[in-house]
Structure formats: structure tokens, C-alpha cells
Amino acid sequence: MSVLSGRSALLKRTPVRLAATFTVLFATTVIVLFAIVFFGITSRLSDQIRYRTQETMGSLLAVDREKGFDDLAAAVTGEGGSVRDTDFIFELVDASGRHVAGNVSGIKPSDTWLTLRRSDIESEWTNGEADDQFQAIWQPVSDGRLLVGSSNRDLRRTQFFLLEVLGIGLIATTLLGALCGAFIARRTQHRIDAFAKTLSAVSEGKIQARVPMSGSGDDIDHVGAQVNHTLDHLQTLIENVNQSSSDIAHDLKKPVGRLRQRLDIARRSAHTTNDFRLAVGDALGDLDAMMETFDALLRITQIEAGARRARFASIDLAAVLDDVADVYAPVAEDAGQQLAWADGRWKPALIKGDRELLVQLFANLIENAIRHCPQGTHIVLELHDEPDGFRAELIDDGPGIPAHEREKVFRRLYRLERARSTPGSGLGLTLVAAIAELHDARIDLDDHDPGLRVAITFPSAAA
């Protein structure tokens, strides 16, 4: 049972089946080509046998025309007794059908070509082979009929030689095809095993494992690159989850502790209804802040799942930026800052997306700049054409973000040290990154010297 199971498992391997198919196709191709050659040569040799028979018949008919029936009989007797008696057969009969000359007798007259076996004809031979065959034909002469036939011995020898060559060639071809198939199967199996090994390692918690690339750029490398890209994304998600768990525990520990302290103080020292009302109000404020954090986390998770793609439509990015700038220009002014919107373009910037999410993206960026920049900061919102899309930029001359912190600010609940004293959950830029990724957009953070330049490049609706 185990042997059968092992064989069954072996036959289910794609490389083994590929090798077997390759060998069968290789051998079948050789057989088909040989059959074409074999039947082609056989037909050609058969034609030559008949041509040789007709040529000999023509020579004898010329004797009959020029010298008469008696000289024809002498010629047939001479031909039948020559050294070629194993290659040709002759029979001359008179008008009454009586045998006159030749090395065979008793053959029934016919108007078509005859195939005669040596064992089926009456002859005086002592040599030749019993399975010899002759292509023969009757022709009328001056005083009777003449039969001339030619042996197909050369044809049979050629056929035997070709079959022998086919046997040797087929064995060699099968072995060569099997070796080539085994080589290809081994390489393919090795690469499939690399996939299996990588996925097994990932399932065991080694999330950093990746499928090795051969560098050939073939379809297996292409699939491997897709698997690695998926694993990169999975690793990022897992790291985000782990980081989020740690950050949630860290960031919520303080408000939860503060909430407990307030409730404890209220329980021990509050004596009036107003005291309890104030304590409950403060506690509700802390709970609302925590609820906002969890709502933001759920929103980010939903966006990362990609469900909102079903709502995508063709949107003018310039119109979105224009609406956001109109709303936040007064907010920036109230904070002692200035928000300017610059769009020198003359045609719509059409992209595929969710308008509500895009408004959220740019609103978060502007709120982040207003919150973390001092009074007097100039904030500029710009839109530029790109070869295959559009680039939206938010530029400020505030304190900026250190280069080593720029990748971290998109992590969930991550906050710069100087920003921990300001309101916020640390999820604004995480939401920006999630919305950008959903729209296949690229985010770049660069120095504005001073300040920060945030560039988001969107693919056009046509792309």
C-alpha cells in the first residue's frame, strides 16, 4: 500500500508529469517523422521496382516486334536462366495458354499488376528466399502473352533496415528525452520546493523568509516576485499589528490610568451631585478620546481591506483640493497661519478614487501641518502634471520631520517626541498612507529647507 501511495504521489508531482509528457511527445514526434520517411521510401522503391519491370518488359517486347515470337521465346529462356533468376520471373505462353518459356509457370493472366510470393508460384529455382515477393504484369505479344516480374528484395531489406534504425533511434530518443525531461523536472521541482520551503517557514513564524529568484526572469520568477511582494505586504501588516498592539497598550495606558484615578477620587472625595457630575464628565471625555482612537483604527483596517474600491469613480483631483482648501483656509488663519492653494493647470486632473476618502486624506495632511507648525507658518497646496498621473504637494516652512523619522510616522499610533504633548492619536498619517495605498498612490516626504514637502503621486484615470 505504501509503495502504491508513493508511486501515486510521485505521479502527482507536476515536474514528473511534465517530464513524462515531454518524453512521450518527443518519442511520438520521432515515430511520426519516421513513418513519413518509411512510407515515402517504400513508395519510391515500389515505383522503382515497377519501372524496372516495365523496362525489362519493353526490351523483350522490342525483340518480339523486330524478330518474332520464336526469338522472343529464346530471349525469355536466356533471361530466365541468367544469374538474375532470383530477381526476375518470366513466363511466355502461346495463344492457347500453353507454357512456352520462362522460369515460372501456372500464373493466371491478368490485366493489372500482380503481387506474387515465391512460395505461391511453380518454379525450378533452388535458390532464393521463400518470402520473396514479385511485382509482375502480363503483356500481349505477337503469338501469345508475356509475364515479367521483379523481386522486391531490396525493398524488404530497406524496410528492415529502417525498422532497425527506428528501434535504435527510438530507444536513444526515449533515453535522451527522459534525461532532458528529468533535468527540466529536477530544476522545476527544485524551484517548486523553494516555494514550499519558503511558505512552510512563513507558516512557522519566520515571516522574513522569501522565495529565492533564479534571475532568469521567467514565469516562475514572476510568480516568485508576486509571492515575495505578498509576503512583504503580510510582514508589514503583521509588524503593524504588533506595533499597534504595543502602541495601543502604551498610549491607552495613560488615559485608562487617568480615568481610573479620576473615578477613584470621585468615589472617595466627591460629596455633592455636582462633584460627581464633573468627575463623570471628565471620565466621559477620556472615554470619547479612546473611542475615537478605536474608530480610527477600525477605519484604517477597513480601508486596507480594499472594500472601498467598489465605490471608485472618475474624480477631478483639482476639485477635491479646491474644496479642501476652501474649508481649511479659515482654520489655518484662526491658528495664525496661512494656507494657499496653487493650481496652474487648465484641464481636469481625472483619477479613479473615492472622493470622501480623498477629502479625508488631504484634510488629515492639512490638520497635521496646522497642529504641529507654529504661528506664522505658510502652508501651500499644489497640483502638478506627471507623465502618467498627477502629483499633489503640501508644503510648509515649519519644523519638518527628521529624515530618520519619516518612515515611522506612517505607523499606527506613532508620534514624534515633540508631538506627544499635542492633541491627537497618532493615526492621522497612518490613515493618509492607507488611503494613498488604496488609490495606488505613492507618498514621498522631503525637506523643504525649512519645513516639509509631502508629495502624493496618483495614477491618472486613463492609466
Residue 364: is its pLDDT beyond 80?
A: yes
Which range (74-88, 145-159, 218-232, 316-330) has the least confidence? 74-88
In this prediction the pTM is: 0.48
Grid coordinates of 78: 536466356
pLDDT at res. 5: 44
Residue 422: is its pLDDT beyond 50?
A: yes
Burial of 269 (0-12, 13-18, 19+ CB in 10 A): exposed
- Nearby residues of 64 by Cβ (< 8 Å), 6 or more positions away: 71, 72, 141, 142, 146
Residue 418: is its pLDDT beyond 60?
A: no
Residue 126: is its pLDDT beyond 80?
A: no
144 close to 95: Cβ distance less than 8 angstroms: yes
Looking at the DSSP assignment, which residues form a beta bridge with residue 379? 339, 396
Grid coordinates of 404: 530618520
Q: How far apart are CA 53 and CA 150, in angstroms?
A: 6
Q: How far apart are CA 439 and CA 354, in angstroms?
A: 8
**Cα-based distances in Å from 31 to 36, 165, 173, 443:** 9, 11, 10, 62
Question: How confident is residue 235, by pLDDT bands cut at 50, 70 and 90?
Answer: confident
Q: How far apart are CA 342 and CA 322, in angstroms?
A: 9
pLDDT at res. 246: 63
Max Cα-Cα span within the chain: 157
Q: What angle do CA 42, 47, 48 make, to 5 degrees?
A: 95
- Rounded to the nearest 5 percent, the helix, strand and coil shares of the chain are 60, 15, 25
The count of C-alpha atoms lying within 13 angstroms of the C-alpha of 34, restricted to the half-sphere facing its C-beta, is: 18
Topology at the third CATH level for domain 219-305: Helix Hairpins (1.10.287)
Q: How far apart are CA 404 and CA 417, in angstroms?
A: 13
- Nearby residues of 130 by Cβ (< 8 Å), 6 or more positions away: 118, 119
DSSP string, 384-416: EEETTEEEEEEEE-S----GGGTTGGGSTT---
Question: How confident is residue 242, by pLDDT bands cut at 50, 70 and 90?
Answer: low
Residue 138: is its pLDDT beyond 90?
A: yes
Question: Residues 299, 300, 304, 308: is their CA dihedral positive or negative?
Answer: positive
Burial of 39 (0-12, 13-18, 19+ CB in 10 A): exposed
Mean local confidence (pLDDT), 450-458: 91
What is the pLDDT of the chain when averaged over all its residues?
80
First to last CA, the chain: 57
Question: How confident is residue 72, by pLDDT bands cut at 50, 70 and 90?
Answer: confident
Q: What is the SS3 assignment for 340?
A: strand
- 3-state secondary structure string, 87-125? CEEEEEEECCCCEEEECEECCCCCCCCEEEEHHHCEECC
Q: Decide if 1-209 and 219-305 have a common fold.
A: no
pLDDT in tens, 376-396: 899 999 999 888 899 999 999
Q: How far apart are CA 248 and CA 290, in angstroms?
A: 10
Residue 417: is its pLDDT beyond 70?
A: no
- Nearby residues of 144 by Cβ (< 8 Å), 6 or more positions away: 69, 92, 93, 94, 95, 100
182 close to 20: Cβ distance less than 8 angstroms: no
Choice between 194 and 242, residue whose per-residue pLDDT is larger: 194
Q: Does domain 1-209 have CATH number 2.40.50?
A: no
So where are the chain's domains? 1-209, 219-305, 308-459
Q: How far apart are CA 15 and CA 3, in angstroms?
A: 20
pLDDT at res. 413: 63
Q: How far apart are CA 439 and CA 314, in angstroms?
A: 12
Residue 220: is its pLDDT beyond 80?
A: no
Mean local confidence (pLDDT), 70-91: 78
Choice between 88 and 340, residue whose per-residue pLDDT is larger: 340
The domain 308-459 belongs to what CATH superfamily?
A: Histidine kinase-like ATPase, C-terminal domain (3.30.565.10)
Which range (61-70, 136-145, 178-187, 240-249) has the least confidence? 240-249
Question: How confident is residue 419, by pLDDT bands cut at 50, 70 and 90?
Answer: very low
Backbone φ and ψ for 353, nearest 5 degrees, come out as -175, -175
**Cα-based distances in Å from 361 to 11, 48, 97, 355, 427:** 54, 89, 112, 10, 12
Question: How confident is residue 2, by pLDDT bands cut at 50, 70 and 90?
Answer: very low
Q: How far apart are CA 445 and CA 439, in angstroms?
A: 18
